[in-house]
């Protein structure tokens, strides 16, 4: 049995952060019903690197976080749509939404209203800046939060260089993970109290959590940590180097690891010197050792050095592209990428990312393919007690597709 079997989630999210949150719940057994406006599918449905999939409203940005969900098209501004939605609320455990401002409140879809229909409902709002504060109504995307939170200013080579965004939408996925954890906690709490919960998740807050160490240092000193790009100014053992072919990132952070690194590179005297130093005095040999490391590293390719250093228990990795990483035996041996039956369309991948953890039993898995737009509308309305004729009438009125 998976943890969330029997849990029904109403998914009123779009783009990345919200859908990633609900996909994590789906991968752990929840029935996730993705509700989309009949005339406005989730914008990620036509976004991605495969044009044919975009045209079929199954873009890779949508596929990446939609496996196993059900798709219901519903006009929540219509009276019929509101009636259907109320029936769904009565039978659901969780609602997740990431609309900015008070758009849903204007439609009556607030925690206050829904808790009167179902006192056990867990209502999770995901917004750029949260539901409170002077920026509560301001819209945001990942890059905006990177700029606002300090991530862009913390990323890059030095204070003289321009700020640099993190390429992948890390804030979106970090926010989705925080929200999934919050919902899981609220479900556990409900088992004890019997009552629902209102959750307020902000992308800006999640960004700070992703920088907890830097935030703590800034709170203590009043000064933001310095930027140093790929090369730590005081620890040459914790820096990137160009090899004869490719690049390698060294992650020797402790004195023992620095000793093992220099030893593995054949610098035995320098290794013994490090053994007699402390965290406070190790910087005295940083520049000379940086030059030595750079010289030795250039003698061979990055994969050679990764193998040699890992054998000596030194943290190090050849810098890879994603397409290279996905071919690695390490990932192939894990369950982070899984098959979800057969591909839906030409160009669709046979596998999708699932979760960053596994259980000994009942763990995360893909329960089915990502849904076509409105694929489960009829199934869900029949389940709510609507007849085929009534569903046909609703479709003619544009309440659903």
Structural domain of 294 = 240-324
Q: Is the same domain home to 32 and 100? A: yes
pLDDT given at position 159:
80
| Residue 361: CATH number of its domain | 3.40.50.10540
Reported as a single tens digit per residue, the pLDDT across 281-331 is 999 999 999 999 999 999 999 999 999 999 999 999 999 999 999 999 999
pLDDT given at position 4:
98
Distance from chain centroid for Cα 251: 24
- Helices 268-275 and 286-297, packing angle to 10 deg: 150
Instruction: Name the residue with tokens 């050849």.
Output: 318
Q: Is the same domain home to 80 and 106? A: yes
Residue 232 lies in a domain: no
Residue 50 lies in a domain: yes
Residue 130 lies in a domain: yes
Residue after which a domain boundary falls, among 275, 302, 324 = 324
Q: Is the same domain home to 271 and 381? A: no
Q: Is the same domain home to 85 and 164? A: yes
Instruction: Name the residue with tokens 């039978």.
Output: 91
From residue 56, how far is each of 60, 63, 89, 398 by CA, in Å? 11, 12, 30, 21
Instruction: Name the residue with tokens 């204007």.
Output: 106
| Residue 250: CATH number of its domain | 3.30.1540
H/E run at residue 143: helix 142-149
Q: What is the pTM of this model?
A: 0.94
pLDDT in single tens digits along all 401 residues of the chain: 999 999 999 999 999 999 999 999 999 999 999 999 999 999 999 999 999 999 999 999 999 999 999 999 999 999 999 999 999 999 999 999 999 878 899 999 999 999 999 999 999 999 999 999 999 999 999 999 999 999 999 999 888 889 999 999 999 999 999 999 999 999 999 999 999 999 999 999 999 999 999 999 999 999 999 999 999 988 999 999 999 999 999 999 999 999 999 999 999 999 999 999 998 899 999 999 999 999 999 999 999 999 999 999 999 999 999 999 999 999 999 989 999 877 777 789 999 999 999 999 999 999 999 999 999 999 999 999 999 999 999 999 999 99
> Per the structure, how many domains does the chain have?
2
Catalytic residue among 40, 232, 361, 376: 232
Residue after which a domain boundary falls, among 289, 324, 359 = 324
Which are the contacts of 295, defined by CB distance < 8 A and separation ≥ 6?
A: none
Which are the contacts of 288, defined by CB distance < 8 A and separation ≥ 6?
A: 270
H helices within 15-136, ranges in order? 17-27, 51-55, 60-63, 79-90, 103-106, 111-117
Residue after which a domain boundary falls, among 271, 290, 324 = 324
Residue 192 lies in a domain: yes
Q: Is the same domain home to 193 and 297? A: no
Token readout for 369 is 């393919």
pLDDT given at position 210:
97
Residue 234 lies in a domain: no
Token readout for 117 is 């229909």
Residue 138 known to be catalytic: no
């Amino acid at each position: 049995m998976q943890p969330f079997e029997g849990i029904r989630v109403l998914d009123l999210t779009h783009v990345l952060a919200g859908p990633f949150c609900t996909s994590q719940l789906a991968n752990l057994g929840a029935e996730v019903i993705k509700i989309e406006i009949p005339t406005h599918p989730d914008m990620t449905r036509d976004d991605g690197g495969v044009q044919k999939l975009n045209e079929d409203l199954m873009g890779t940005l949508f596929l990446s976080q939609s496996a196993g969900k059900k798709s219901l098209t519903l006009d929540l501004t219509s009276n019929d749509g509101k009636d259907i939605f109320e029936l769904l609320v009565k039978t659901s455990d969780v609602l997740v939404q990431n609309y900015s401002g008070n758009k849903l409140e204007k439609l009556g879809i607030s925690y206050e209203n829904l808790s009167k229909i179902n006192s056990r409902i867990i209502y999770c709002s995901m917004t750029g800046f949260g539901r409170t504060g002077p920026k509560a109504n301001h819209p945001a995307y990942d890059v905006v939060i990177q700029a606002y939170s300090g991530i862009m200013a913390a990323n890059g080579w030095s204070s003289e260089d321009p700020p640099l965004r993190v390429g992948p939408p890390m804030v979106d996925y970090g926010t989705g993970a925080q929200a999934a954890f919050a919902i899981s906690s609220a479900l556990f709490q409900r088992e004890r109290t019997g009552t629902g919960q209102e959750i307020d998740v902000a992308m800006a807050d999640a960004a700070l959590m992703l920088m907890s160490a830097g935030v703590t240092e800034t709170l203590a000193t009043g000064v933001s940590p310095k930027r140093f790009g790929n090369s730590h100014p005081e620890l040459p053992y914790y820096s990137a180097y160009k090899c004869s072919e490719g690049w390698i990132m060294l992650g020797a952070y402790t004195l023992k690891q620095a000793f093992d690194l220099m030893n593995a590179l054949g610098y035995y005297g320098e290794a013994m010197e490090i053994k007699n130093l402390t965290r406070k005095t190790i910087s005295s040999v940083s520049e000379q050792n940086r030059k030595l490391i750079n010289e030795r590293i250039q003698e061979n390719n990055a994969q050679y050095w990764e193998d040699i250093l890992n054998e000596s228990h030194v943290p190090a990795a050849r810098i890879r592209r994603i397409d290279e990483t996905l071919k690695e035996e390490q990932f192939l041996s894990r369950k982070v990428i899984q098959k979800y039956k057969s591909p839906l369309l030409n160009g669709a991948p046979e596998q999708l990312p699932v979760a960053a953890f596994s259980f000994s039993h009942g763990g995360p898995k893909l329960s089915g393919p990502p849904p076509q737009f409105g694929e489960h509308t009829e199934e869900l309305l029949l389940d709510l007690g609507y007849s085929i004729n009534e569903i046909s009438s609703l479709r003619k009125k544009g309440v659903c597709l």
